Amino acid sequence: MGTLTIGCFPSIVGNMGYDFALKLADAAVSKGHKVSIWFSGNATVSVKAHQKHLKDYSTAEKYLQALLAKGVEICTCEACTVARGIQKTEGIEGIQWNAMHWYLAKIHAADRVLQIGGE
């Protein structure tokens, strides 16, 4: 089995690249691969807990929790996140907070890397 690192930069609302990243992660971990997700840029707003799922908007929380339960490692860029007014105490439990070198370390360990840009 392999190791996949996904860099996800798009926002949960406004760009379905985010939805793609989560679905791909789910497919990969379900096949037995080890998966890490790095959130940066606008993707970091998705780590805030207590999201309300309105049907006109994509939602993240329940999918992130499901991925965490399957063993996917998820980390948000702390600087990007606090810059958007979200504090660590408000985050979804189980999601790590770290600096950009976390992503590079996971790239180092990865067999495959998929970097999904934000725009």
- Residues near another protein (CB under 8 A): 2, 4, 7, 9, 16-17, 20, 23-24, 26-28, 30-31, 33, 40-42, 99-105, 107-119
Which two structure tokens, joined as six digits, stand for 15? 């760009």
C-beta of 117: minimal distance to another protein in Å? 4
Residue 38 CA neighbour count, 13 Å, CB half: 27
Q: How far apart are CA 86 and CA 82, in angstroms?
A: 5
Residue 63: what residue type? Y
C-beta of 50: minimal distance to another protein in Å? 25
Closest to another protein by CB, 49 or 84: 84
C-beta of 91: minimal distance to another protein in Å? 20
Closest to another protein by CB, 50 or 101: 101
Find tokens 């971990």 and name the residue: 29
Which two structure tokens, joined as six digits, stand for 89? 């105490």
